[in-house]
Structure 1
Amino acid sequence: MTTAPKTCFIIMAIGEQVHAGSIVTSADLRSRYDNLIKEAILKAYPGIDVIRADDVAVPGSISSDIVERIMSSDFVIADVTYPNPNVFYELGLRHASRIGTIIIRDRSGPMVPFDISHLRFIEYEDTTAGLRNLSVKLREYMAFVEKNQDKPDNHFLEIAKYKKHKFLDFSEETSEELEIITAFMQNPELFAVASRAGAGGEVDQMELLAAMQANPESAKQIAKIVARSNSASNQPNRQARRSAKKGR
């Protein structure tokens, strides 16, 4: 029986960044990923499946596929060189999900933000020697994670373990609910409107209509799922009414 390869998801800035008055282009960042970060990972752990966000989604979007990979990948490597909101949001999601997160940064980049400065991270240099050193350190971190599957690797999980925090269990969610959540998350506009409604915020009916018109296929999919779910939930009531009529 063939064992599925280990998986590694890369969190990093993808679009153009500005640092110390200089512009770092998306092409520069792609090159750094392809020729340094990904190469170092493959040298550290041959055969591992490595993927970056823009390989599975439109740049700038947080699709359901990205969230799933953040939650389930064996390893997540987060490059926090640039103060990018998406990077820190995705890093936070991962920290709340499971262990196996490795933080890296370019030694020549800006200082690490205070909120994560206490966490361990690997500094790298974008050179041939830097690639070799990054690979060695990644190998050490990955080996440690695999030998310590019950050891929290971030402050959030450490406190959760200490407090014996009981996380929400979504394992009993119905397939219809999961389908609806997935359909919403695949479309940022619909997801934003639904998130505000779920948080008790005001939902502009015109805004909701505009979001549905902008995403007709998803709106149609959600409508079908809701109709199917309502039909299934109303089935017992219809059967009860038929039984009552027969008993008259």
Structure 2
Amino acid sequence: MLKEKTCFVVMAIGDQEYNGKAITAQDLKSKYDDLIKEAILKASPEISVVRADDISLPGSISSDILTHLMHADYVIADVTYPNPNVYYELGLRHASRPGTIIIRDSSGPKVPFDISHLRHFEYENTATGLKSLASNLKAYFDLSVKNPGRPDNQFLELAKLTKYEFPNYIDEPEEDPVITAIMSLITNPDTAGLLVKAGSGQEVNQAEMLSAIFQNPTVGQNLLKAMLATGHLDQGEIFGKQSQKGLPSRNRPSTSQKRRR
């Protein structure tokens, strides 16, 4: 079964204003639902289309947006209104991967000089405009299927020409949990002070050290990970064994049973 293609739409979402003219968030939402999204689905009926305010996953909306910019098969950026968020997200996508389409309403303000040279499709907010936009999008989708990975913006073209090496986070080795734990201990002022004290031959109270460690959740977490990784702590010791107090009453030894033992 083929993986479902995804398309993330970048556009102004909140109320906008240019040349004294106000465009409400509802106007933009209607344009997205009735024109842009419809055109995308006409061009590729099986594609999954999402806009920032469609994202319902819990967590930071910014993280969701970045994830879609990095991983969506296609990003369609509507640059009709001069919006810094749209320009920023367009730049991030251009630097991430190909599969980016720029569109704008032909009745909107003039495109800023810095992006005016970028290829884009103009559309009209009419039935004919929807049909024309769908046709242009389909042509782009078909071309990208035939030429997967082909640079579609100046940044990626230059990166390919100069053989620019992007960071490879997939093959990045995992940090040694022991080293991470040690660094946490020596960079935390409370635990570092106690370590210096112990190193100079002074007696350090164990309870004081444990208190200093677990006052900082990160230090405590890193230490536990290191102990688990090196076998100094067994997960069964933490989660697998029930105390007598926690046993159900029918399994808990009675007073008479304890005496017989």
TM-score normalised to structure 2 length: 0.67
1:122 aligned partner: 121
* SS of the residue 1:5 aligns to: coil
Give the CA RMSD over aligned residues: 2.6
1:109 aligned partner: 108
* Alpha-carbon distance in 2 for matches of 1:173, 1:108: 51
CA 28–236 in structure 1, closer or farther in 2 if over 3 Å, else same? closer
* Alpha-carbon distance in 2 for matches of 1:237, 1:18: 60
Q: Does 1:165 align with 2:158?
A: no
Indicate the percent of aligned positions where both proteins have the same amino acid: 55
Name the count of aligned residue pairs.
191
Q: CA offset at residue 150 of structure 1?
A: 3.1
TM-score normalised to structure 1 length: 0.70
1:40 aligned partner: 39
Question: Which sections of structure 2, spanning at least 5 residues, go unmatched?
Answer: 177-215, 233-261
Q: CA offset at residue 4 of structure 1?
A: 2.7
2:139 aligned partner: 140
Q: CA offset at residue 224 of structure 1?
A: 5.3
2:221 aligned partner: 228
Q: CA offset at residue 62 of structure 1?
A: 5.1
> What are the superposed Cα offsets for residues 92-124 of structure 1, whole Å, 9 maximum, x if unpaired?
110011000000000011111222111110000
* Alpha-carbon distance in 2 for matches of 1:161, 1:145: 17
The one-letter code of the counterpart of 1:41 is I
* Alpha-carbon distance in 1 for matches of 2:31, 2:10: 13
* SS of the residue 1:15 aligns to: coil
2:21 aligned partner: 22
1:95 aligned partner: 94
1:124/1:134 contact within 8 Å kept: yes
CA 57–227 in structure 1, closer or farther in 2 if over 3 Å, else same? farther
* Higher normalized contact order (CA 8 Å, seq sep 6+, divided by chain length): 1
The one-letter code of the counterpart of 1:54 is D
Question: Which sections of structure 1, spanning at least 5 residues, go unmatched?
Answer: 177-222, 240-248
Q: Which moved more, 1:19-28 or 1:141-150?
A: 141-150
Larger Rg: 2
> What are the superposed Cα offsets for residues 170-214 of structure 1, whole Å, 9 maximum, x if unpaired?
1126499xxxxxxxxxxxxxxxxxxxxxxxxxxxxxxxxxxxxxx
* SS of the residue 1:138 aligns to: helix
* Alpha-carbon distance in 1 for matches of 2:77, 2:141: 14
CA 238–146 in structure 1, closer or farther in 2 if over 3 Å, else same? closer
CA 238–140 in structure 1, closer or farther in 2 if over 3 Å, else same? closer
* Alpha-carbon distance in 1 for matches of 2:162, 2:223: 40
CA 238–134 in structure 1, closer or farther in 2 if over 3 Å, else same? closer
CA 238–72 in structure 1, closer or farther in 2 if over 3 Å, else same? closer
CA 151–131 in structure 1, closer or farther in 2 if over 3 Å, else same? same
Q: CA offset at residue 226 of structure 1?
A: 6.0
- After the TM superposition, which parts of structure 1 deviate over 6 Å for at least 4 consecutive aligned residues? 234-239
* Alpha-carbon distance in 2 for matches of 1:31, 1:175: 48
1:57/1:63 contact within 8 Å kept: no
CA 8–175 in structure 1, closer or farther in 2 if over 3 Å, else same? farther
